[in-house]
Structure 1
């Protein structure tokens, strides 16, 4: 067992009893090929929660500052995280993400860019569309439905892949594709949120 699988098992065993996790739509997750996994962002626990629920290893961008924290700087690379400078056009991070997608791996992204505690889905940054168009990958939308409160259920819902080929053929703009992704996430939230039942 490599470190990623070991960490995934440990985190799963810690979070599962606290948040009564329910995973929906694992069958929608392609078994191979590059995938851009795009989710809403409601809590700092979202990356590990999505990571342990995903059937494949997920490479997450993490803010550069975290790689300067003594313990984290040695752990983060082992759990497939890579640094990104927030608020700047970080070409190195862009290159790593696109290369990772082209290599047939999964890159996890929160298009809102920061946590949104309002319960409403915020506006997505165009970077999501940029990666989706350039990375030779399909997009799997994901919805995290909380709240993160002890012994309350947290749902992680994976939607069906969004085929990016039509958007590449029409040379769609990154902003347009980001909006398509956000619309798919919103549909998942609408369908699975308990208040909407």
Structure 2
């Protein structure tokens, strides 16, 4: 068993009962081919939670500071995360992300770039739009809903793949494409609240 699958199994055993994780829509993630999973960001635990609820292995782009924390850094490395420098253009991280997609694998992104302190969806950076427009990957929006309090329900919803071809053909700006992705994530959150899925 690979280090990724071992880490996934261990984290699953702990997290699923601890946070009463419920997964909705994971069949919306294609079985093969390049995929970008874009999620809202409410906790430093979001990467492992998306990692254990996705049927496919994911390589995450995560802020470099997280890798400086001993336990979290080890966990992020185990689940194939790679660091990105904030505050500027990290060309190495961008190239690494594109290579992951070029090889037909799954890239995990948090378009907001930082955690939301209020739990509400914030404005995205251009990064998610860049990857969506510069690749032929399928974009799957994801919403994490809950408080990460032990014993409380945490819901992870994977939405239907987005059609980005219109944006690619129109040469949409990366920031606008990222905002379209965040809108789909917000729609998933709104749906969960309407359907009371966070209970």
Q: TM-score, normalised by structure 2?
A: 0.92
For 1:101 and 1:68, locate their aligned partners in 2 and report how far apart those are by CA, in whole Å: 26
Q: TM-score, normalised by structure 1?
A: 0.93
For 1:120 and 1:74, locate their aligned partners in 2 and report how far apart those are by CA, in whole Å: 28
Deviations 1:119-154 (A, max 9, x none): 211101111101100122111000000011111100
Give 1:99-118 correspondences, 5 Å limit: 99-118=99-118
Match of 1:62 in 2: 62
Tell me: CA distance 1:73–1:21, structure 2 relative to 1, closer, same or farther (3 Å). closer
Give the count of matched residue pairs: 197
Does the 8 Å CA contact 1:141/1:161 hold for their aligned counterparts?
A: yes
Shift of 1:74: 6.0
Match of 2:172 in 1: 172
Does the 8 Å CA contact 1:99/1:135 hold for their aligned counterparts?
A: no
Query: Which range is displaced more, 159-168 or 73-82?
Result: 73-82
Match of 2:147 in 1: 147
Does the 8 Å CA contact 2:36/2:107 hold for their aligned counterparts?
A: yes
For 1:126 and 1:137, locate their aligned partners in 2 and report how far apart those are by CA, in whole Å: 16
Match of 2:7 in 1: 7
For 2:67 and 2:147, locate their aligned partners in 1 and report how far apart those are by CA, in whole Å: 28
Does the 8 Å CA contact 1:24/1:155 hold for their aligned counterparts?
A: yes
The alignment partner of 1:131 has SS state of helix
Does the 8 Å CA contact 1:58/1:80 hold for their aligned counterparts?
A: yes
For 2:187 and 2:71, locate their aligned partners in 1 and report how far apart those are by CA, in whole Å: 38
RMSD: 1.8
Match of 2:26 in 1: 26
For 2:176 and 2:196, locate their aligned partners in 1 and report how far apart those are by CA, in whole Å: 27
Tell me: CA distance 1:54–1:87, structure 2 relative to 1, closer, same or farther (3 Å). same
The alignment partner of 1:140 has SS state of strand
Shift of 1:196: 6.0
